Structure 1
Amino acid sequence: MAMRRIVLRTLAALAATAVAVAGYLLVHGDFQRWSDESALDSACDGLLDRNTVRSVLGPGAVEVEHERRDADLVGCEVHVHDGGTAEIRVFDTTHVGQSFDSLYTGPPSALSVPVGHGWTGLFGADPDPFRADEDEKVTTTLVLECTKASSATGLSVTVETTLDKTLDDPANRPEFARIATSTAAKASKSRQCGAKLGKPVLSLDLPVNEDEYKPLATAEGTCSGIPAARGVAIATETARGGAPHETCRLADTGLRTRYELAADYGPYAQEQLLRYEKEPVDDTPNADTPAHHRDPDGRMSWTTAKCPDGRALFTLHPAGDRGENRKYPRGKEDLAYERAALKTFAERSARAHGCSTPLTS
C-alpha cells in the first residue's frame, strides 16, 4: 500500500508540472485517476459524500483512483495527503456468487462484530503485531435489502478505512464506519434501492481476537447455550445484533480449536450455497433441503432455515482430525455432540434474526 501511495503522489507531481491546471485525469481502460477536490464528487460513480469523506480522512490534498469492473460492481480508493485512506466497493448482491469478489466476513485471526444501530453489517480489523507502528486499517461492510420495486435485490457496501487512530479508544471507532454508512445512504438513493437505513453509528464493539476466550458455560453471544463436552470447554464469540455472518469458535482447555460454527444470512447465505453447489460432492448444503445433513467426508454439518430475506445457512466445521487435533478422533459421541451443538447454535441465531426454526433429520 505504501508503494502504491508513492506512485500516485509521483504521478500527481508530474502532471502538475506538465500542465498548469489544478487536476488531471488519466484513463486506462476501466481505471481513472484524479487529483483535485472535485474528484470526490465523481468517485465511485458519485456515491461518496464529500463532507463525510473530508471529515474522516482529513483536509489535505486528495487523490482518487476509480475502478468500474461492470454494471454490478464499482470501486474507488481515496487517499488524503497527511491524512487517511478509504477503499470503497459497492456491489449489487443480485449477482452474488457470480463475481470474483466475495462478501467480507473478516480476517481468520479475528471475529468481526455487528455494526448494529439498525444496520445489517460487520465491523472487522486484522490484529497484526508486526504492523503496530502503522495506521489502523479497519473494514466496515453493510448489506442493504432493496424494496420489491427496485431492479436490484440488494446492495453491499464495503469500506476499508486506514487512519492514524487506535481502535482501542471507543471514541475513534465510529469514525471508521462513517464513510460506509454515508455511502450506503447515497447508493440506496442513486440505485433506487429504497432500503431501510440504520441510524448514526455512535458506538462499536472491538473485533474479537482469537485469544479472547471465555468458559463455554458463560457464553452470552453467538456461542450461548451450547453445552460443554469432552474436549470442548472454551468459547470465542461476538455479540448478536444484525450481522449477516456470525461465528462461534469452540476449543479445549489447551485453547486448541475443536469446532467453528457459522451462520450466514441474505446474500452471505446465497453466496455460500452457490459455492457448495459447484463442489463435486454429494449431500452438500442447498437451499431446497431445510434439514440437518453431514457431508460424506465428514468435513461439516449443516442445516438451513427460512428467513424474511431468503434462506439462512448454518454450518459446523470440525477443526480437523489431523495434526494437533489428532488426539480427538470423532466417534459416535462426537458426532452426536456436533449435531446438538449445531442445533442449539442454529436455533438461537435464527430466532434472533426472525427466521423459522431450523429443521433437523
Structure 2
Amino acid sequence: MLYSTGTFEQWQDDHSLDRACDGTLAQGGLREALHASNLRAGGEGDSGYLTTCRVHNSDTGLELKLRWSTSAPPSTSLTWYKEDYNGVKGQAAPLGNGWPGVTRYDGGTSQVMVALDCVNQKNKALVAYGDFSGRSKDTTLTGLGRVTTETAQKAAAKYGCQVKAGEQLTDVSATRLGTPETSKPLKQAQGSCTALRGLAPEAAEGGVPEAMEYPADAQTPQVNCYLATPEKKPGYGLFAYYGASAKDFLASEGDRLKKGYDFTRGERDYAWATAQCPQSAQPAVFALYRLYDRDSDTYPISHYSAKFAESALKTFADHEAKTRGCSDVRMAPAPK
C-alpha cells in the first residue's frame, strides 16, 4: 500500500534531503529554485571538499559544494577567475542582504558563492558554491541563493565556525551587465564605479566615457566595474577581491600577473595592486584588464594606456580600501 500510494517513495526523497551535505542542507528555497515539489538529494562523493550534495527533480537540479578556505582552491571552472579579461564574462553581482557572496551567470549556468569568515578561527572561512544548470529566473536565483547561504550557515555551525550571517534572501536580482542599456555616463556612476567619477574627463579621452556597474556593497567578496566605449562596449574591467576570493584569485591568476603574462595576445595590458584589510590576513587584490570582445574578435580599446590604467586602478583601489577599512594600497611593479 505504501508503494502504491507513493508514500514510501516520498519518505525516501524527504529522508535523502535530510541527510544531504552531511545533514546541513537547508531546504528553505529548494522548491523555489527548482520549481518542483518532488525532490531527491544525493552525495557527489568529491573528496576535495568538506561536503557536497546534489538536489534534483526529473528535469534539472542544483549542486552544492562546501570547503574551507584553507584547503586547496577549486578548479577554475568553478571560480571563473580566468574570464576576467574576456568581456564581461567574469562579472559577479553582489548577493545582498548582508551576505559576503556573489551571483554569477554564464550562458545556461548560474552560480551563487558565499564565503563566511570564522570569527573564532583567524584566517579561515567556510566557502560554499551553489550551481544551477538550466534557465534562470529571478525566483530560481533567489531560491539558489537561499539554499547556498543557509546551508553554509548550518555547516559553519556544525563544524564550529562562528560567523556573521546576513538576512534571509528574498530577492536576488538576475540583472547582468554588458548590454547597451546597462551603460551610463561615468560621471553618473553611483555603485561599484563611483570611485572613478572624478576621472570622467580622462576616461573620455581614453575612449571609455561610459560605466557599467553593480550596486555598491561593502560585504561582497568581489567587486566589478566596467568602463565602456561610446558604442557601449566594455573596454576596461576593474575588479576587487577580498578574503577567500582574493586567495583563490591569486591561486588561479597570481603567477600570470607576476610574470607579466600576455592575457590577450598583445602587449602587457593590465595592472594590479594589493592592500591590507582587517577582516583577513589575506591581502585584498585589485586588478584592471583591457577587455577582449570575442563576439567581434577585437579589442574595443585598440590602444592600452598604461598611464590611464594605473591612475584608474589606484583611484579604484584607494576608494575600495577606504570603504573596507583597508590600508597600505600598493601598486604592483611591472614585471621585468
- Normalised to the residue count of structure 2, the TM-score between the two structures is 0.77
Tell me if structure 2 keeps the 8 A contact 1:222–1:240. Answer: yes
User: Which residue pairs with 2:183 in the alignment?
Assistant: 213
Counterpart of 1:305 in structure 2 is: 275
CA contact (8 A) 2:110 2:136 kept: no
Higher relative contact order (CA 8 A, sep 6+): 2
Match of 1:339 among 305, 310, 314: 310
Distance 1:101 1:138 in 2: 12
1:195 aligns with 2:163: yes
1:25-83 CA distances to partner (integer Å, 9 max, x unpaired)?
A: xxxxxxxxx9632001111111113455356546633332311322634221111357x
CA contact under 8 A between 1:35 and 1:64: conserved in structure 2? no
- Correspondent of 2:214 among 222, 234, 238: 238
Secondary structure at the aligned position of 1:36 is classed as: helix
Alignment deviations for residues 210-262 of structure 1 (CA, whole Å, 9 cap, x no partner): 11111111111111232223211111111121211111111211233321111
Matches within 5 A, 1:80-91: 80-81=57-58, 85-91=61-67
Deviates more, 1:73-82 or 1:220-229: 73-82
Instruction: Read off the aligned partner of 1:324 and give its amino acid letter.
Output: T
Q: Is the 8 A contact 1:222 1:246 kept in 2?
A: yes
Residue 98 to residue 115, structure 1, CA distance change in 2 (3 Å)? closer
Indicate how the Cα distance of structure 1 residues 104 and 74 shifts in structure 2: closer, same or farther if over 3 A, else same: farther
What is the root-mean-square deviation in Å for CA atoms of aligned residues? 3.7
- Report the Cα distance in structure 1 between the residues aligned to 2:214 and 2:68, rounded to whole angstroms: 27
Matched, 1:37 2:14: yes
Q: Structure 2 CA distance, aligned partners of 1:149 and 1:163? A: 37
Partner of 2:192: 222
Hey, what does 1:314 align to over in structure 2?
Answer: 286
1:181 alignment partner in structure 2: 149
Find the aligned partners of 2:324 and 2:128 in 1 and give their Cα distance: 21
Structure with greater helix percent:
2
**1:1-361 alignment, distance < 5 Å:** 22=8, 36-50=13-27, 52-53=29-30, 57=34, 60-70=37-47, 72-81=49-58, 85-97=61-73, 102-103=78-79, 108-109=88-89, 111-126=91-106, 128=107, 138-149=110-121, 153-161=124-132, 166-167=137-138, 174-211=142-179, 212-226=182-196, 227=199, 228-230=203-205, 231-241=207-217, 242-279=219-256, 282=259, 298-308=268-278, 309=280, 310-319=282-291, 324-325=298-299, 328-330=302-304, 334-360=305-331
Q: Identity rate of aligned residues, in percent?
A: 26
Number of residues of Structure 1 aligned to a counterpart in Structure 2: 308
The gaps in structure 1 that reach 5 residues or longer are 1-15, 24-33, 132-136, 285-295
CA distance in 2, matches of 1:278, 1:106: 12
CA 88–224 in structure 1, closer or farther in 2 if over 3 Å, else same: same
Q: 4+ runs of 1 displaced by more than 6 Å? A: 162-165
The answer on whether the counterparts of 2:260 and 2:268 sit within 8 Å (CA) in structure 1 is no
Relative to the length of structure 1, the TM-score reads 0.72
Shift of 1:274: 2.7
